[in-house]
Each structure stands twice: as C-alpha cells, then as structure tokens.
Structure 1
C-alpha cells in the first residue's frame, strides 16, 4: 500500500511539453488570430493613417471577434497536441504585482525610445485617436481583460514559445513583428512604442516562462490610458 503514496506530496505538477510550432502551423494561427487586424492596420497606413475610433462600438467589435476566434484557435491547437491548460495563464496576486512592474518598465523603455528615435514634430494618429476617444469604462475593462489574454496567449504562449527551437532571438523577433504589424494604424511613434513594449514583454517571458504578469501588464496598458 505504501508503494502508492507520493513521497513528494507538495510538489507542483509540471506542465506537459508542448509541440514545437511548424512554419505552416504558425502562419495559420497568426493569420486566423491577427490577420484581420493586420489587414485593417495596413489599410489605415495606405489611406494616410485615417483615424480609427475608440468608442464602445469599435471596442465591442474587437472583444466579440476575439471571443469568437480565440476558442477556435485553441481547439485547433488542442487537435495538434497542445495542452490548452498550459497555453492559458494562471492568475495570481503575485503575478499581478510583477505585471505592474513589467508594465512600468515597458512604459519607461518606450518613452525613452520614442524621445530618442521618433519625430516629435508632427501629431501622431494615436494622439488624435486618444483625444477623441469616448468609450465607457465598462467597455474599456472588458477589452483589457479579453484583449490582454488573447494577444499574449497567442503571441507569447503559443507563437514565441513554439518557435524557441529556432532560437530565442528569432522567436522574439517574430512575435514583436506580428505585434507591430497590427498596430501600424497608430503611426510611426505608436509602432515604435509597441515594438519596445513587445520586446520587454517577450524578453520577460523568455527569461521566466511566466505568462500571467505579461497578460496583467497588457491589461494595464489597455486600461490606464483611458483614465
């Protein structure tokens, strides 16, 4: 009977190993999850950064899209041998505290990069969008939760982690590139800022493998600018 007693009852269950992402699979998941946003962002650039609206209707559209597509993408990954439980982050108070620090580091780094490298003379599209933004706080909070989870689960938890076998720098670079592509509508300064934020988020995840702090940092980034 003693042979069935776990000699280490307090040890944590280790996550099951995830498959490595093939180029075709990664392209398919990126197209499914971010293709529509990338197309819209590129259209905005081609139209001379036609200002988008941050209102309840536009934010609801993003939330609805991600709530529809996210489960489909997870089911596809599950059918390919991924553990959905391991893809999704586990919330914790400690992770929220660490995430707040990650957010502060990302904001500081992006501010430094923009001040050193960007053109501050012209008004940027993201600045005009924030000046006219009138969403309700309930919709902002809904967006921050859904979008924070959606983006980081598929950009870092799947894409960056799944491409690690090609090298950490390659995996980080691909995740940052995808993040920037669907934020090009914010203009040059906004894209630069998002690239720096993506690097901070990606490096933290590469070093720790801890996804929840990045998700929480993203939630803060989606919420605080509207306060």
Structure 2
C-alpha cells in the first residue's frame, strides 16, 4: 500500500482589506419633526429657555417684595470678586463670557449635522458692511423706542430699576462691558431668531406662529425687568423676526443688539447718577 500523502498547506494569499470604520457605524435616524422638536427643547433648556424660567421666578420675587416694582433693582453686569482683587474679577468675567457661548457652538454643530451651517442663518462675514449698516439703523430705531418704554413704564411703576453695570472702575471695565454686549447679541439672535426660526420652519410651523413663539420667548426671559420691558421686548422680537425673514440674515440683528447693549452698558456708567431723568 502506498503511503498516505500529507496535504500541503495552501499558499498564503493577500490579506483581506479591513472593512472601513464607517461600515460599523449605525445609520443615522431620519430627520423628523419629533427629533427636531427634542433638539430645540434641549438647546433652549441649556440657554434662553432656562433664562426665561429664571426671569419668571425673579419677577415673582420682585412682585412679592416690599414696595413696588420701581423700588426693586435688576443688576445686569455685576462684580464677581472683591474690589481689591480686580484680576480675579476679570478672570471670572472672561471665563463666564467664554462658556456663555457654548449654546451657540452647540447650535452651529447641530446645523452641520444636518448638512447646514452658520451660513444657513446668515451668521457669517459675507456682507459685513450691510450687516453693520442695517444693524446700526435697526439699533437706532429699537434703542430709542426701548429707552422711551423703559422710562415711561418705570414712572408708572411697571418696571424695576435696571442697573446695566455695577462693575468697579478698573481699566478693563469698558472692554468687559463691550464683550458682554456682543455676547448678548450673538447668543440671543443666533438662538432665538436664526436657529429657532429655521428649525420650527423645518417642523412645518407657519411663519406667524414661529414669530409669535420667538417674540414671546424673548419677552419672557426679559420679564425680570418688569411688565413694561416684557412688552417692549415682545415688540422688539416681532420686529427682529420680520427683518430676519426679509433679509435672511441674522448678522444685522447681532450687530443691532450688540450696539443697543453697548450704548446701555456704557451709558449707564457715564450717565446714571449724573442726570435726573435716568433712574438709578
């Protein structure tokens, strides 16, 4: 009998190519109104929705405090350390400004996840001249009207005394106030106008309903300033939404809001206590 033959090992072939990493990732869920709705809720809960709740609580506290609303004071930009420790105060001011921008970064990230970007809502530098010019005109219109509403409503006892700044007189006082004003402009207009109007529109809401929700939200997170400023910001919200629908850009609104707050913050430092017609 012949010897049994030992089977030869097969010649080594080429190594199989590894599957791409993306093949193991789950397929993203389809974009639905329900998903967008929860996205909007999460963004607002981390930003101006939470501010609206805090403003309602603050307003309730002012209403139940001794004296009328005009006897209460709302301090906007306050010291964060003792007067003899200015560098600690500055460090805390700057860190709060940086982290206050986190919701805006989140919104831009979420836009990119749906193949959109900040450019989709007009938050870019494509038209800086137009944004600044239109924003300056809008700031003059809204700013003058807002000042009148504040003064009249304060005289009627419908608004608290607003102290835009109570910072100590340090060399960095005005730069911090300017940064605070720009932060307010970016945070509010990007989220409450650009992002919210885009997402609610994608969910099938009508323009009138979207504008109403955006304006009411703006009014509520300013309610801590009193009834007069609630309605003043309600009108401002409607005007800003209308201009956004017309221009398709949030840039002019950011410029307008920033200029209004710069004038309010700097003006409070320069004028409060020096002129009789301005409360404080």
- Report the TM-score, using the length of structure 2 for normalisation: 0.63
Q: Which moved more, 1:57-66 or 1:142-151?
A: 57-66
More helix by percentage: 1
- Report how far residue 186 of structure 1 moved: 0.8
Of 82, 94, 98, which residue of structure 1 is paired with 2:130?
94
- Where does structure 1 lack aligned partners over 5 or more consecutive residues? 1-18
Single out whichever of 141-150 and 71-80 deviates more from structure 2. 71-80
CA distance in 2, matches of 1:150, 1:81: 22
Quick one: distance in 1 between partners of 2:95 and 2:228? Answer: 25
Give the paired residue count: 206
- Match for residue 109 of structure 2? 75
- Root-mean-square deviation (CA, aligned residues, Å) is 2.9
Deviations 1:23-76 (CA, angstroms, capped at 9, x unpaired): 333222222222331232122112126644232439657524422333233323
* Correspondence for 2:167 among 130, 134, 139: 134
Kindly indicate whether the alpha-carbon contact (under 8 Å) linking 1:160 and 1:174 is maintained by their aligned counterparts in 2: no
- Aligned pair in 2 of structure 1 residues 110, 146: CA closer, same or farther (>3 Å)? closer
Query: Partners in 2 of 1:162 and 1:34 — Cα distance?
Result: 16
Say whether residues 1:122 and 2:157 are aligned partners.
yes
Which structure ranks higher in relative contact order (CA pairs < 8 Å, sequence separation ≥ 6)?
A: 1
Structure 2 matches for 1:150-189, cutoff 5 A?
150-164=187-201, 165-189=204-228
CA distance in 2 between partners of 1:26 and 1:100 (Å): 30
* TM-score, with structure 1 as normaliser: 0.76
In structure 2, distance between residues paired with 1:154 and 1:86: 13
Distance change in 2, residues 1:104/1:213 (3 Å): same
Instruction: Tell which structure's C-alpha radius of gyration is larger.
Output: 2
